[in-house]
């Protein structure tokens, strides 16, 4: 989709993640949940790519396979010139210094028996980056960067509020100076006033450290605010990818159009035509033939139920997988 | 406001929870009313007391967890807080029904949808097996579930989140309640499903004329379906207005902060680096009863000395708009 110029940090090619599910009989062919089924995109240095979609569309599986927290079934993930899926476990461990993740619920992703200081120092100690006085200096620096105070050092995760816990999770992710960070619904569990604090923090850190983000979220307004480009996923596939402005002002795929129209209005007197989709997300074990969206698509044609659309360039930085575009 | 008598009138409600280190004040001196057929939203962030309010209307907060300490809840000429247990049971589900955020934990996982629906019909009306089954089918049809008869045989896990919430709504509507309390009804749902459910709630209200008390943290949901809004912060009502007035002319610094903090869809300009969001610094105070004055004072831009001494009285902005703030306009 994008040309592989030097500024690209991460390139994902035809990524697939199929989870086996128990089949009905020993002799039956095993079934797979095709959570990610051929996803390609790239992220430039210092860029944020938003990845949006509803529950079960595979967006978290994408994030996790990029870091090899789960092993993808097929595909390529190139960080600069290295395909990280070819690396041995030990080599991968080293690479993780450059790739980090921030999770949705900071309470279940922080060890409840470690103090804040221990949580943030763990990666630094593991990779032998710092010790002794140097270690405490670095931790204080990180705390300062994410807006935590010195008096928080000795506290346990349960003594923090949700927003502070997320700051702690961010400090841990930033400890090793990563170049690429996956934010998996990083602000979804937070109240709106605190959410604004964390979004601002993530954007400030990006500017200071030149980070690239994959920002996974179901909230279109948040994704729009933080991202340069946005990819929309439906049932394991990217259906549309474009710069932020085009996705919102000029969405081409009927699913993107429905998603944009479904966001509640900002003012009660604002007129908003809603595209109300019928039904629910089909099962990813047995996705619909042809275009996966055709069962709910208000504009489905006969061809949609038989031929799967391939993703095509619509304009400069805008690609869509839909037969209507031809 | 409305020439009709209010359907429910809450006066000076106070709810406390028994925390490990002493009582925690969840709702403090809250008064409001809901008119017949209207949708009133209570909006606020986690811990502001909005759910505690909803639950105390049905007297679901009982010792030893917590209790309603004072005030009154007038509904149909009775004070719900004074009713005997059996009398209260007759109100629940029949006159006031409630739907919750997570329909999976509110439905019984080991019984079919049909069993749970028909059981509810039969508890409230002395109906035969067959009539209650027909009523269940009718209700599922009303909430827009496809093929209601086959849905009756399904278990909750076989339904998606949106379908489960529709079943919960059907169950709440069985007795044509005059008040439906919806506690974060769409928070666990995806946006496209949220749009379906909000659409359904407004349609049902038009058809049945029930009043809705909507509890939510999402100003977008408020803008979608509420006629009037109450903004709560740390157990207190800080602002009350019609939805239009609140969005056009927010008065309380907290309300303004909330509106500015949410990223605005469609604000992205081509090739312009985005501005920072306006954040509300700090966090919500712990309400252990020691705090005097306005609970928002510590986070407020317009704070005055008197804000730390007493909680401000309601000031009328218009007939339908009031705010509890000493200094809404930021004078120093």
**pLDDT at residue number A1:** 43
The verdict on B257 touching A (C-beta cutoff 8 Å) is yes
Prediction ipTM score: 0.82
Report whether pLDDT(A222) > 60: yes
Q: Return the higher-pLDDT residue of B8 and B275.
A: B8
pLDDT mean over A271-299: 87
* A295-326 tens-digit pLDDT: 999 999 999 999 999 999 988 889 999 999 87
Q: Is the pLDDT of residue A3 over 50?
A: no
Domains in chain A (CATH in brackets) are 8-98+178-265+273-325 (3.40.50.300)
Q: Is the pLDDT of residue B1 over 50?
A: no
Mean pLDDT, all residues of chain A: 90
A-chain residues near B194 (CB < 8 A):
262, 264
Is residue A25 over pLDDT 70? yes
Q: pLDDT digit string (tens) for A28-46? A: 777 888 999 999 999 999 9
Pair B127, B166: CB distance under 8 Å: no
* pLDDT over 60 at B315, yes or no: yes
Neighbours of A75 (CB within 10 A): 18
The answer to whether A285 and A32 have CB atoms below 8 angstroms apart is: yes
- Quote the pLDDT of residue A4: 45
- Closest residue by Cα to residue B170 from B215, B130, B116, B131: B116
What's the confidence (pLDDT) of residue B267?
64
Q: CB-based contact (8 Å) between A164 and chain B?
A: yes
Domains annotated on chain B, with CATH = 1-92+227-263+274-332 (3.40.50.300)
pLDDT in tens, A60-90: 999 999 999 999 999 999 998 899 999 999 9
Name residue A51's beta-bridge partners: A216, A231
pLDDT (average), residues B90-98 = 91
> Does the beta carbon of B195 lie under 8 angstroms from any beta carbon of chain A?
yes
Question: Read out DSSP for B22-59?
Answer: EEEEEEEEEEEEE-TT-EEEEE--TTSSHHHHHHHHTT
Lowest-pLDDT range, A171-180, A258-267, B236-245? A258-267
Among A103-112, A184-193, B210-219, where is mean pLDDT lowest?
A103-112
- Indicate if the pLDDT at residue B269 is higher than 60: no
So what's the pLDDT on residue B274? 67
B111 Cβ under 8 Å from any chain A Cβ: no
Distance CA B303, CA B326 (A): 8
Residues of A in contact with B267 (CB under 8 A): 224-225
Contacts of B199 in chain A (CB under 8 A): 274, 276
Q: How confident is the model at residue B2 (pLDDT cuts 50, 70, 90)?
A: very low
Whole-angstrom distance, CA of residue A93 vs CA of residue A85: 12
Residue B268, pLDDT score: 56
pLDDT value, residue A2: 45
Query: Backbone phi, then psi, for A57, in 5-degree steps?
Result: -85, -10
């Amino acid at each position: 989709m994008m040309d592989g110029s030097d500024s690209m940090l991460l390139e994902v090619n035809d990524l697939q993640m199929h989870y086996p599910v128990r089949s009905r009989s020993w002799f039956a062919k095993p079934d797979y949940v095709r959570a990610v089924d051929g996803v390609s995109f790239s992220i430039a240095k210092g860029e944020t790519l938003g990845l949006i979609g509803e529950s079960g569309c595979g967006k978290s599986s994408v994030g996790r396979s990029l870091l090899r927290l789960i092993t993808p079934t097929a595909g390529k993930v190139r960080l600069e010139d290295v395909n990280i899926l070819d690396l041995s476990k030990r080599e991968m461990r080293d690479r993780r210094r450059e790739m980090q993740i921030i999770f949705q619920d900071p309470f279940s992703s922080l060890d409840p028996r470690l103090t804040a200081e221990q949580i943030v120092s763990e990666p630094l100690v593991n990779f032998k980056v710092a010790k002794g006085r140097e270690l405490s200096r670095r931790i204080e620096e990180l705390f300062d960067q994410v807006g935590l105070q010195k008096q928080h050092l000795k506290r346990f995760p349960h003594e923090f509020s949700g927003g502070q816990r997320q700051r702690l999770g961010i400090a841990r992710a930033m400890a090793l100076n990563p170049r690429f960070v996956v934010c998996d619904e990083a602000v979804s569990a937070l109240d709106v006033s605190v959410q604004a604090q964390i979004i601002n923090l993530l954007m400030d850190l990006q500017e200071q450290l030149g980070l690239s983000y994959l920002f996974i979220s179901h909230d279109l307004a948040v994704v729009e605010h933080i991202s340069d480009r946005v990819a929309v996923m439906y049932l394991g596939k990217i259906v549309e990818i474009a710069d932020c402005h085009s996705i919102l002002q000029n969405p081409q795929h009927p699913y993107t159009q429905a998603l944009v129209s479904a966001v509640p209005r900002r003012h009660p007197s604002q007129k908003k035509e809603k595209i109300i989709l019928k039904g629910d997300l089909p099962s990813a074990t047995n996705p619909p033939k042809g275009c996966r969206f055709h069962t709910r698509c208000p504009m489905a044609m006969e061809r949609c139920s038989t031929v799967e659309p391939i993703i095509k360039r619509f304009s400069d930085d805008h690609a869509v997988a839909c037969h209507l575009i031809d | 406001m409305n020439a009709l008598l209010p359907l429910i009138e809450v006066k000076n409600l106070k709810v406390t929870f028994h925390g490990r280190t002493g009582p925690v004040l969840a709702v403090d001196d809250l008064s409001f009313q809901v008119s017949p057929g209207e949708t009133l939203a209570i909006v606020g962030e986690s811990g502001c007391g909005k759910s505690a309010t909803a639950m105390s209307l049905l007297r679901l907060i009982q010792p030893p967890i917590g209790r309603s300490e004072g005030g009154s809840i007038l509904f149909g000429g009775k004070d719900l807080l004074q009713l005997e247990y059996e009398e209260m049971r007759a109100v629940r589900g029949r006159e006031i029904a409630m739907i919750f955020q997570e329909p999976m934990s509110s439905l019984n996982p080991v019984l079919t949808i049909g069993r749970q629906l028909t059981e509810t019909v039969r508890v409230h009306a002395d109906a035969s097996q067959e009539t209650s089954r027909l009523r269940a089918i009718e209700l599922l049809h009303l909430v827009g579930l496809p093929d209601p008869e086959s849905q009756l045989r399904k278990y909750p896990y076989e339904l998606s989140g949106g379908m489960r919430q529709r079943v919960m709504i059907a169950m709440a509507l069985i007795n044509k309640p005059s008040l439906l309390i919806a506690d974060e009804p769409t928070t666990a749902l995806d946006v496209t499903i949220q749009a379906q459910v909000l659409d359904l709630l407004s349609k049902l209200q038009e058809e049945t004329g029930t009043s809705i008390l909507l509890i939510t943290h999402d100003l977008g949901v408020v803008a979608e379906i509420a006629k009037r809004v109450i903004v709560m912060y740390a157990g207190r009502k800080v602002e009350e207005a019609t939805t239009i007035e609140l969005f056009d002319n927010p008065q309380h610094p907290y309300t303004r902060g909330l509106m500015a903090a949410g990223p605005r869809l469609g604000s992205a300009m081509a090739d312009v680096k985005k501005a920072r969001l306006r954040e509300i610094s700090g966090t919500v105070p712990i309400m252990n009863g020691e705090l005097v004055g306005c609970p928002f004072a510590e986070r407020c831009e317009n704070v005055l000395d008197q804000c730390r001494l007493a909680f401000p009285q309601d000031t009328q902005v218009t007939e339908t708009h009031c705010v509890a703030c000493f200094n809404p306009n930021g004078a120093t």
